[in-house]
A and B are shown apart, each in its own frame.
Chain A
Amino acid sequence: MTTELVQLLTPEGRRVHHPEYAVDPSAAELRGLHRDMVLARRLDAEAVTLQRQGELALWPSLLGQEAAQIGSARALRPKDHAFPSYREHGVALVRNLDPAHLLSLFRGASNGSWDPAENNFHLYTLVIGSQALHATGYAMGVAKDGADTAVIGYFGDGASSQGDVAEAFTFGAVYDAPIVFFCQNNQWAISEPTERQTRVPLYRRAAGFGFPGVRVDGNDVLACLAVTRAALDHVRTGSGPMLVEAFTYRMGAHTTSDDPTKYRDEAEVEEWRAKDPILRLRRLLEREGHADEDWFAALDEEAETLGRRVREIVRTMPDPDPSVMFENVYADGHALVDEERARFAAYQESFADAGRSN
């Protein structure tokens, strides 16, 4: 299996040559990748803490998947579009989405709320695999427009069992849509291992649909960057989709509601801890002298500032006004919604005299 895995950086932080995939980032770019991963991990950790404090209803942690998310997101051009699942906080950061949107969603103050067109980063999708079709349809539209835009659709190993993902592969293939299907195989769909989803390595599924698939070391940010960039270039030529399987590991629980000790061994987690995506890039930066202690210290400070900002955002976030329930259900209005909105307002108003709001 290891021969199938594209790797450009070993867990020890040594560069590896690969005959097909290469990337040669400048020192500044390497530091940028490291910074993105550190900030993503900090945002994630802060959100987990906030959930434990009762400030968030839920949080799906990205811990361990930083390289897959940052490497793939940094491969995108500004005009490219990303369709996330619900764990792509690192991709969101790279796309400059205000973290307040993600926090609002998991606090229960909104169901999304951001404008996908603003950062070309679409809404989170909690029902597994549905977004693969939206991404594919979007890419079909791009092809009709003759635009030089590519689309990336994120999903996980569990989603690979969904019919919508298979249908997305079919539609993307037969219409030659410029889409990269980016599967983060983090080995676990809540409690079910990948063996419960598939008998073949996931990247090989692409062959049956008539497009290329490749497995990349999902904890190697350089390999994820190189492979995703190559995949995006491939789909931009109009020759159809490409599947990238980022072989990674979900270090944390599925979400803050999950208890992974019920279904997996600590030894397995330890094994993957040795492959940590951030540590291996740090080793490279240090070995090749691209960053010094001061730089790392400054980054730690920046991460702390982000953590403080995340806390501030959540603790000062107002609850939405109840009337928003009725807003934007329809673009052109709907008689029943209008009637119920008015009735709700009158009901609220009926308590005004009593001096209480509800």
Chain B
Amino acid sequence: MVTKSLPLAKALNEALRAALESDPKVLLMGEDIGKLGGVFRVTDGLQKDFGESRVMDSPLAESGIVGTAIGLALRGYRPVVEIQFDGFVFPAYDQIVTQLAKMPARSQGKVRLPVVIRIPYGGGIGAVEHHSESPEALFAHVAGLKIVSPSTPSDAYWMLRQAIESDDPVIFFEPKRRYWDKGEVDTEAVPGELHKAQVAREGTDLTLAAYGPMVKTCLQAAVAAEEEGRSIEVVDLRSVSPIDFDTIQASVEKTGRLVVVHEAPVFFGSGAEIAARITERCFHHLEAPVLRVGGYHAPYPPARLEEEYLPGLDRVLDAVDRSLAY
């Protein structure tokens, strides 16, 4: 066992390093990822060690980054591209939705596009506008893409390695406010399946389902609720497309209650899909309607207001109370 205590951002860096070492076809591309090591230093030191041909500072054009990554993948490369911030992905949205997602099916499987798009996402760091968004549902709606988001350094390491090894396009949402959280990473472990959810904490009264940055918030909520004698189970979804409904279902059949938590707006969010499907699957087990906690149907507010906008401990506990009151 080779276990290290690493911040989440460093775990991602180690995953990229390991991928570059193990497969000469892996390339990194993005804005400022070379000498600077990325604005969050996720690619720190990689250009120095692997050269400018494999760790490429790109022109400042997101559609160009994803569009040329598609071309590189057609040539046999496995590009891992960085979009600097969540709110900057939309110039590339057309290439992602119209080209990257559909080309494998259009070619009837003759084309495979093993492209990973890394996106630091979510709020909580006091950033200026367009630097705190959670657009995962806008991608999960599109067939052909896979969407994942780790919540721990260990998952960050292993899920990124698995995403790079996947022959499918994967959008890898990195919880930027958790970049500096440390955790144990075993780089020789046998990882679980990329798209399988994990029970992060066991409980019997209610299930909280979350992914990425909100898993930590849910775990804190579970601890707080325990003091009031409530036993909360927390499911870390890890994958938003596909979603591991079996694991959620098993949990809800046990607890009878489900609250889905994400930073993204509630309206048409992933919680809506989970609520609908779990209601279908667990209708006779549910003691309360599935509740959702998330952002409001308003543009992400200025940073001074983000604590009011984002689902925090209190909003999650409020939803727990509402569910248990049924």
**Interface residues of A, Cβ cutoff 8 Å to B:** 110-117, 122-123, 125, 127, 130, 132-142, 144-145, 163-164, 167-168, 170-171, 174, 324, 327-332, 334-337
Contact B67 A127 (CB under 8 A): no
Bound CA–CA A145/B74 (angstroms): 13
Q: Which residues of B contact A134 (CB under 8 A)?
A: 67-68, 70-71, 74, 99
Bound CA–CA A101/B3 (angstroms): 53
Bound CA–CA A141/B78 (angstroms): 11
Q: Which residues of B contact A125 (CB under 8 A)?
A: 99
Contact A171 B68 (CB under 8 A): yes
Q: Apart from A111-B106, A335-B244, what 12 extra A-B contacts exist at CB < 8 Å?
A: A111-B105, A125-B99, A130-B95, A133-B71, A136-B68, A137-B70, A142-B75, A144-B27, A145-B75, A329-B105, A330-B168, A331-B109
Minimum distance in angstroms from B61 CB to a CB of chain A: 5
Bound CA–CA A112/B95 (angstroms): 17
> Is the CB of B22 closer than 8 A to any CB of chain A?
no
> Is the CB of B191 closer than 8 A to any CB of chain A?
no
Closest to B239 in A: A335
Bound CA–CA A157/B152 (angstroms): 49
Closest to A127 in B: B98
Contact A137 B104 (CB under 8 A): no
Bound CA–CA A134/B64 (angstroms): 9
Interchain CB contact (< 8 A) of A331 among B66, B68, B106, B167: B167
Q: Which residues of A contact B58 (CB under 8 A)?
A: 171
Q: Which residues of A contact B63 (CB under 8 A)?
A: 133, 163-164, 167
Closest to A331 in B: B167
Decide: A329 near B144, CB < 8 A? Known: A140-B71, A168-B67.
Answer: yes
Q: Which residues of A contact B144 (CB under 8 A)?
A: 329-330
Contact B64 A168 (CB under 8 A): yes
Which positions 279-305 of chain B face chain A at CB distance < 8 Å?
Answer: none
Contact A334 B71 (CB under 8 A): no
> Is the CB of B223 closer than 8 A to any CB of chain A?
no
Bound CA–CA A125/B168 (angstroms): 20
Contact A137 B242 (CB under 8 A): no
Closest to A138 in B: B71
Q: Which residues of B contact A141 (CB under 8 A)?
A: 71-72, 74-77
Contact B112 A331 (CB under 8 A): yes
Q: List 14 A-B contacts (CB under 8 A).
A: A113-B106, A116-B107, A123-B106, A127-B94, A133-B70, A134-B71, A164-B64, A168-B64, A327-B108, A328-B105, A328-B109, A331-B167, A332-B167, A334-B146
Contact B71 A135 (CB under 8 A): yes
Closest to B75 in A: A141
Interchain CB contact (< 8 A) of A137 among B72, B107, B195: B72
3 tightest Cβ-Cβ pairs between the two chains A and B:
A137-B71, A133-B67, A141-B75
Contact A113 B107 (CB under 8 A): yes
Minimum distance in angstroms from A321 CB to a CB of chain B: 12
Contact B242 A170 (CB under 8 A): no
Bound CA–CA A138/B242 (angstroms): 29
Q: Which residues of A contact B91 (CB under 8 A)?
A: 163
Contact B67 A332 (CB under 8 A): no
Decide: A138 near B72, CB < 8 A? Known: A130-B94, A171-B64, A336-B242.
Answer: yes
Minimum distance in angstroms from A159 CB to a CB of chain B: 13
- Chain B: residues with Cβ within 8 Å of the partner, total of 48
Closest to A118 in B: B110
Q: Which residues of B contact A112 (CB under 8 A)?
A: 106-108
Interchain CB contact (< 8 A) of B67 among A110, A144, A167, A329: A167
Minimum distance in angstroms from A331 CB to a CB of chain B: 4
> Is the CB of B204 closer than 8 A to any CB of chain A?
no
**Interface residues of B, Cβ cutoff 8 Å to A:** 27, 53, 58-59, 61, 63-64, 66-77, 91, 94-95, 98-99, 102-112, 114, 143-144, 146, 166-168, 195, 241-245
Most chain B Cβ neighbours within 10 Å, of A110, A115, A133, A335: A133
Contact B110 A114 (CB under 8 A): yes
Minimum distance in angstroms from A248 CB to a CB of chain B: 26
Bound CA–CA A111/B112 (angstroms): 15
Q: Which residues of A contact B106 (CB under 8 A)?
A: 111-113, 123
Bound CA–CA A115/B111 (angstroms): 7
Interchain CB contact (< 8 A) of A133 among B95, B103, B107: B95
Q: Which residues of A contact B244 (CB under 8 A)?
A: 335
Closest to A169 in B: B64
Minimum distance in angstroms from B237 CB to a CB of chain A: 13
Interchain CB contact (< 8 A) of A170 among B27, B61, B69, B102: B61
Interchain CB contact (< 8 A) of A138 among B59, B75, B143: B75
Bound CA–CA A164/B112 (angstroms): 22
Closest to A320 in B: B108
Minimum distance in angstroms from B97 CB to a CB of chain A: 10
Interchain CB contact (< 8 A) of B241 among A130, A164, A334: A334
Interchain CB contact (< 8 A) of B107 among A123, A130, A334, A337: A123
Contact A137 B75 (CB under 8 A): yes
Most chain A Cβ neighbours within 10 Å, of B61, B71, B95, B106: B71
Bound CA–CA A55/B64 (angstroms): 38
Closest to A111 in B: B106
Q: Which residues of B contact A117 (CB under 8 A)?
A: 110
Closest to B62 in A: A167
Closest to B111 in A: A116
Minimum distance in angstroms from A216 CB to a CB of chain B: 25
Interchain CB contact (< 8 A) of B168 among A110, A113, A327, A332: A332
Q: Which residues of B contact A145 (CB under 8 A)?
A: 75
Contact B74 A110 (CB under 8 A): no
Q: Which residues of B contact A115 (CB under 8 A)?
A: 107, 110-111
Contact B71 A136 (CB under 8 A): yes
